[in-house]
Structure 1
């Protein structure tokens, strides 16, 4: 039934070749995520190659030659529909057999790793059926509207295309950044892949044929020399890659180097841990880093490469943490934590830490469990304790630290949004022995599910953003963090380096209701881009009452030393029951205009006007230097 004339097949083949990456990406999305990325990559390529229809052996219409005019169904539509049918048919079926061709022996293929948002979307996609994934792909990868997508889904055999599109729309709304941008990222591109070897020992055991054995020995012999770290016995010098896997070449910083150095970062950390001299353990950790086994768990902070070592890294720790053997390396750009639970497969965690400093290089997460974690401390940390950000007047509870600089267990911040109950943060006091720094104030770090904690800072009212950020250990800073800390939960796993609270405006409220503060929380990542959240903090009798989110923005310079002015607005209810539109702008905003449900203009950086609770609004700030800036949306 699917057979076409030779002209149809030629058009289909041309469309397949021209749009091959699009077709493979769509097919990869529809295939079951539970089967693993390696198998999905191979199967997606195999199904698209099988989607080419076959030509009939006889001429249609009584033997007349097929006309070469425009086809009723374009070639691309043919191969897309066939590929979609094949992918939908694999829901709940193992991805093996002829459909999984082409096969790749000895290697595992993975699309490039994305960030926390891509991972969250991939997890959400694994929880919905294939027709829902197909609907998203037709919208965001193929650019079809709902009517066209419904038609394609129906022709592909989906029994309820409308239900599939409704579920897809719901998932789309729940995706904070938007599924369109994420589905077009490298995380979902099976044509741009990374390679890793399979289990080399098991593969050798299964090779029996003489010709295959010769091939394995030819390739595997060189690999064995590389992985053993012993080099070539013929006398040739070891290669750079072999040196990187030699535990005897690991860099080790002297214990007291941190007291007299121009770089107060991870390069100044000495080696800690009772197994720092265990060459067998260190070699094993390096080999797993270079070629992770198929069942190894790999975790990455956003924007961090998982490439193998290309030079001997620095050793920071090797020892036992809560019955788990842990090794930590630093290669000048990344921290790599190797964890080897007893009787379980190893875990690798990669985190980007380039350009660290005295605060952001003060600790790393050396162990983690259910509701707790431990820090490994920098040598310049003289004292550490834990405080609850939601109790700004509360005490700092001291922590016991082992001789290897590992802390007691510290509670992790709870999951949740508004009203999170408590938010632990560690308060560090640096040593005065660091050359040239003098007396250093204490600083706060908090855990956001990454390998390195996040530095919390604050700018007081009237200060300039970011460039003059101070430590968040003073009373005003702690009071501000008590009302904004719960919003940190949205930043988990995003590779955040620091978060700064900047009180960019104060505002007298209508009806003599006191004063409110407008705060911009800026999160800067290790990879560069930052995001901001605007908070409106009205007067309250409860120190930890969360403020209201007044606006958000991603990949922005707002609220930084390089950023443009910022404006936020909220609808606020006075004690009388009357609703007002409130707006405020940062330095540089000389006036604010509001349109929509209310039309009003002000000539300062704050605005208050009566307005209905749900009245639409469009708020724009006028800059003193000329130009305008729109208010951020929640």
Structure 2
């Protein structure tokens, strides 16, 4: 029986919070109302998805704990954008948000523990709710329910979730796929395929066998309970003593949060860890500064005066503990500050406390949860030699596929522009008094390329500049034009080649230039092809990347014809390029298309006569392997980009 044939009443289904193309905003009250109204269904969903190996008692308590922890933190509104690529279903976004949180936590509970990583909260026994002295489990069902439970226990966590979403939530496969993607499942299609191997007995999911809200109680082992109570009393006394020792002033490392203990005294290093010695630039200093870069950024954020937070951030920077997640862009040193740093920002961002610091060479981001330092993160990005165009924004935080920036003090307005739709108008981006933007969808984590958002900033000098998130602290500047004299890009410069930016993610990219170096009439008369070379420059100088692409009429995106790593091609040092591609015409005939920059005098394709000029379109066979070379106007040989 398919999910659409079930005779049970349809469950609440995901709305904009899970499948909508727009942005839904869910505040605490809205999510709480959905949780209370649908609490039994949400707990049943969690119970069914949790790994059966936990045992029925722990599954019951964990299911209740996951649902009760599913509310957004704090009293502020929370943007819900798990998936912005599918059409919305118009249902309750509050329920969609809570269901997504429950599903994600239940799937994380089934992940294996790793030696070198801290366990996730859902992988540990719940602190609350707890029932002392009793074992709780759902009422027993019949043989059919037992058989279904055994089949579900043999599935992986994502496949079990797919089966439950189909049967309990009455979602179609596309909706299930989007829900799994939003919950962090890497391969939703495989989960659906695995779930297909279990008979669709969806009506049984509503039975008392799987109802963790209708329970039976039995006592635990009474003798072992006494032993555990005595052991717990001894452990509590030891914990009190250790806690008092760690909290005492002096050489202890408690006040530094997630920082590792210091190994030796060093006056210079200690000065760098003193929050009182942080450089704080005045709010209007940038107007008089001879440099318009990060050195002119003022200290902003409502927590810029929180000495304890700043001390923890500096201490973790100097000596991150084992629990701190440290990341750095390629070529960026992740060591301690050489001296007192400059404070850029300290404040609350979504569910974290965030501190941004600058030491003249690097921007450093420290983030910790609002309720403690467990799970702190430390990110480094190299920014030496940054200009006004490259120091216009820094990433404050990412969540649910969105990114939020802190903009420079000279930025007059901010907007979001989809590079794939250059004729559309830019969407204004709301900013707070401290320059922090509202969140918007980031292309850095998108699984497809149906849109590519760029940050559009207008500065005090009147210039409008585009940059895009490539998964790092500093967005990559977008330019266009000849390599010797690039200009600030317009959205139209990247309309058909923006998707190629995905190849530059997490490479420490400083800027990416799009250079349209040739136009070519197609041999079947269907129009003109445009040849574009996109070159990504990194902050470290090396590791550059160049892509030659051909854009044909009607194609949704450019086709990559050639690629080069660590090559000066398409750059200021070597402003020339040659690339070719096999192309199938509308008539079914195959051709080799080749194009070089304007300084190419002739093109040679293996087995054919040399073609004068920088363009060639010659008959070819499907799958034919060809050698392509060019001759420059000065007589030098030019090989194809590689």
Range of TM-score over shorter length: 0.5 to 0.7
Aligned to 2:641: 632
1:27-67 CA-partner distances (Å, limit 9, x unpaired):
xxxxxx96549xxxxxxxxxxxxxxxxxxxxxxxxxxxxxx
Q: Given the alignment of the two structures, is residue 451 of structure 1 paired with residue 489 of structure 2, yes or no?
A: no
5 Å-filtered alignment, 1:170-319, equals 239-319=267-347
Shift of 1:414: 6.3
Q: Given the alignment of the two structures, is residue 340 of structure 1 paired with residue 362 of structure 2, yes or no?
A: no
| Contact preservation (8 Å) 2:569, 2:641 | no
1:231-281 CA-partner distances (Å, limit 9, x unpaired):
xxxxxx982111111111001111111112221110000010011111111
Shift of 1:445: 1.1
| Contact preservation (8 Å) 1:457, 1:469 | yes
Distance 1:414 1:244 in 2: 33
Query: Aligned-pair RMSD on alpha carbons?
Result: 2.9
Shift of 1:205: 6.2
| Contact preservation (8 Å) 2:480, 2:513 | yes
Aligned to 1:383: 413
5 Å-filtered alignment, 1:472-487, equals 472-473=489-490, 478-487=491-500
Tell me: CA distance 1:564–1:391, structure 2 relative to 1, closer, same or farther (3 Å).
closer
| Contact preservation (8 Å) 2:479, 2:486 | yes
Tell me: CA distance 1:499–1:409, structure 2 relative to 1, closer, same or farther (3 Å).
same
Shift of 1:484: 0.6
Unmatched runs of 5 consecutive residues or more in structure 2: 1-112, 118-185, 187-238, 258-264
Distance 1:504 1:243 in 2: 53
Tell me: CA distance 1:489–1:582, structure 2 relative to 1, closer, same or farther (3 Å).
same
| Contact preservation (8 Å) 1:226, 1:241 | no
Q: Given the alignment of the two structures, is residue 442 of structure 1 paired with residue 464 of structure 2, yes or no?
A: yes
SS at match of 2:301: coil
| Contact preservation (8 Å) 2:600, 2:630 | yes
Aligned to 2:563: 552
SS at match of 1:392: coil
Tell me: CA distance 1:226–1:282, structure 2 relative to 1, closer, same or farther (3 Å).
closer
Q: Given the alignment of the two structures, is residue 360 of structure 1 paired with residue 387 of structure 2, yes or no?
A: no
1:149-178 CA-partner distances (Å, limit 9, x unpaired):
xxxxxxxxxxxxxxxxxxxxxxxxxxxxxx
Distance 2:444 2:362 in 1: 27
1:492-527 CA-partner distances (Å, limit 9, x unpaired):
111111111000111122132321111000001111
Q: Would you identify which runs of 4 or more consecutive aligned residues in structure 1 move more than 6 Å? A: 220-228
Aligned to 1:468: 485
Aligned to 1:100: none
TM-score by length of 1: 0.59
| Contact preservation (8 Å) 1:297, 1:346 | yes
Shift of 1:606: 0.9
Distance 1:572 1:363 in 2: 41
Aligned to 2:553: 539
Distance 2:116 2:312 in 1: 25
Aligned to 1:617: 626
Shift of 1:363: 0.2
Shift of 1:342: 2.9
Shift of 1:295: 0.8
Aligned to 1:601: 610
Aligned to 1:431: 460
Shift of 1:575: 1.9
Shift of 1:301: 1.4
Tell me: CA distance 1:253–1:238, structure 2 relative to 1, closer, same or farther (3 Å).
farther
Distance 1:347 1:224 in 2: 18
Shift of 1:588: 2.0
1:278-316 CA-partner distances (Å, limit 9, x unpaired):
111111110111111111111111211110112000000
Which of 510, 517, 521 matches 1:497? 510
SS at match of 2:520: strand
| Contact preservation (8 Å) 1:338, 1:349 | yes
Aligned to 1:234: none
Shift of 1:479: 2.8
Tell me: CA distance 1:610–1:415, structure 2 relative to 1, closer, same or farther (3 Å).
farther
SS at match of 1:288: helix
SS at match of 2:397: strand
1:342-390 CA-partner distances (Å, limit 9, x unpaired):
3432110111111111111000000110110111000010001111111
SS at match of 1:455: strand
Which of 545, 548, 565 matches 2:576? 565
Tell me: CA distance 1:227–1:387, structure 2 relative to 1, closer, same or farther (3 Å).
closer
Tell me: CA distance 1:243–1:369, structure 2 relative to 1, closer, same or farther (3 Å).
same
Aligned to 2:530: 517
Shift of 1:416: 6.0
| Contact preservation (8 Å) 2:256, 2:316 | no
Tell me: CA distance 1:372–1:265, structure 2 relative to 1, closer, same or farther (3 Å).
same
Shift of 1:574: 1.7
TM-score by length of 2: 0.59
Distance 1:415 1:630 in 2: 35
Shift of 1:629: 1.8
Distance 2:475 2:267 in 1: 36
Unmatched runs of 5 consecutive residues or more in structure 1: 1-32, 38-123, 125-201, 209-219, 229-236, 433-439
Shift of 1:587: 3.1
SS at match of 1:568: strand
Aligned to 1:371: 401
SS at match of 2:496: helix
Distance 1:296 1:414 in 2: 23
Distance 2:269 2:293 in 1: 26
| Contact preservation (8 Å) 1:385, 1:428 | yes
Shift of 1:626: 2.5
Moved more, 420-429 or 337-346: 337-346
SS at match of 2:495: helix
Aligned to 1:422: 451
Q: Given the alignment of the two structures, is residue 592 of structure 1 paired with residue 620 of structure 2, yes or no?
A: no
Distance 1:272 1:441 in 2: 24
Aligned to 1:395: 425
Shift of 1:441: 2.2
